[in-house]
Structure 1
Amino acid sequence: MDFAPIDINSVLVVDDDADVCKRLSRLLTEVAGDALVVSHAGSIAEAKRHLNDAVFSLALVDVSLPDGSGIELIQSIGTDWPELATVVVSAFAEEKMIVSALQSGAIGYLLKERDDLELVLSLRSLMRGGAPIDPLIARHILGMLVTPPVQDLPREHTEVDATDVQLSQRELEILQMVSRGLSNRDISEVLGLSKLTVEAHNKHIYRKLSVKSRTQAVFEARAMGLVP
């Protein structure tokens, strides 16, 4: 899934806490306006019924649900409703859970404890093509990705990593730009390519790295030493 701007017009909030659902509905309306349609589901089963009956542009998913983990739902969405963007909104910030959510296809991870303004700013970033990650979560991720500089790694290790995924020079160049936060439009302007060409390269990168989003691609590429 690429990080294209999301037209927030129909949102599914998956959380079994009624007060949380009301709060998120209020914040979403502040972000997207009164025309926004928000549906609520208190379980994975109820969420799937909603997903089968309607089309949503965004799903906000808690990781702790009565009938299972929200990460299981995110995985199902990636398989059965791949065009639907999912963002975790949780009270939990455990490292394993964060990684699992992002690897399963979530494009953001927010914490319920943040105040209304912080959550509103994060949700608004989705409309600009952003991938909202709570600062605390971002620190967790950066901590996991701290590795020695590429030049300090054994030459054999770096070469094997790059060869294993078989990225072309152009794909590696685009991946490095993605890791710096450039959008597809920015990359197309820098490289003098069409936006469609950049998107095609991104799809090839995702396939070769066995990932579904830019967040996952950067995560995997940094873990393999392909980008700083």
Structure 2
Amino acid sequence: MTSIELSPTLIVEDDPATRRRLHALLVGLLGTEAVIAMADSVASAIAATREGRFALALVDVGLPDGNGVDVIAWLHVHAPDTVSVVISSWGHEDTVLAALRSGATGYLLKESEDIELGLSLKSLRRGGAPIDPVIARRILAQVTTPAPVVETVTAPTPQLSERELEVLHLVARGYSNPEIATMTGLSRFTIEDHTKKIYRKLAVNSRMAAVFEANSLGLLK
């Protein structure tokens, strides 16, 4: 996976104590030379990203003037080079899925210890897509639960090729693209091409969103 920069960073959080906590975590990880900006609302976050470029945005979901998912969606369209990660107290599956579908690369919970958040941010710098273990367990539980039988179909199920389904199942089991390439005997670039096609067919923007959507469509039986 391609590594990413974590600075400049935009922290979108309305709680001062949490802003200080995240600021301290980033300084500990990146050093005092890290460029860190703050926003406490949807409006101020969008204004900040219009004025400057950010490599990373750490976004809370519950903001005074709206939903942090709206910030992520705006960034996905207007600042696609910015990597967005949710850090929130909200961990409901619907909220997680909405964030991932809007373009979030990861989803972390504030209740995590500082060392856990720090490790997640280090993983992000290496090109990972950090998901809080509590949320990951819920996702895996959904994946391993048989999809209910539906009598009528209201929309056509996306048609994935046999190879795309194979890759999708390995993604759902948590394997990275290089690992999938080794397991299938294909090149990493071929696997990346397959995952892009899967994203397009499922209308999602991340691995976890693809797993959510595929499971809801019964593709991971």
| TM-score normalised to structure 2 length | 0.86
| Among candidates 76, 79, 86, match of residue 78 of structure 1 | 76
Within the alignment, does 1:200 sit opposite 2:186 as a pair?
no
TM superposition shift of 1:70: 0.6
CA-based RMSD of the aligned residues comes to 2.4
- Does the 8 Å contact 1:15/1:61 carry over to 2? yes
Within the alignment, does 1:58 sit opposite 2:56 as a pair?
yes
- Does the 8 Å contact 2:143/2:172 carry over to 1? no
The residue number in structure 2 matching 1:225 is 218
Within the alignment, does 1:19 sit opposite 2:12 as a pair?
no
Separation of aligned partners in 2, 1:184 and 1:139? 21
The residue number in structure 1 matching 2:46 is 48
Within the alignment, does 1:68 sit opposite 2:61 as a pair?
no
Gaps of 5+ in 2: none
TM superposition shift of 1:82: 2.2
Q: Encode CA deviations 1:11-67: one digit per residue, 9 max, x unaligned.
A: 110012222112101101222233321111111121112212222221100111122
| Among candidates 167, 173, 196, match of residue 174 of structure 1 | 167
- The one-letter amino acid paired with 1:87 is V
TM superposition shift of 1:96: 3.0
Separation of aligned partners in 1, 2:41 and 2:48? 11
Q: Give the 5 Å matches for 1:1-228.
A: 4-148=2-146, 164-227=157-220
Change (3 A) 1:91 1:225: same
Separation of aligned partners in 1, 2:141 and 2:162? 28
- Does the 8 Å contact 1:9/1:35 carry over to 2? no
- The one-letter amino acid paired with 2:94 is K
- Does the 8 Å contact 2:100/2:205 carry over to 1? no
Moved more, 189-198 or 38-47: 189-198
Change (3 A) 1:96 1:218: closer
Change (3 A) 1:33 1:136: same
Gaps of 5+ in 1: none
- Does the 8 Å contact 1:87/1:110 carry over to 2? yes
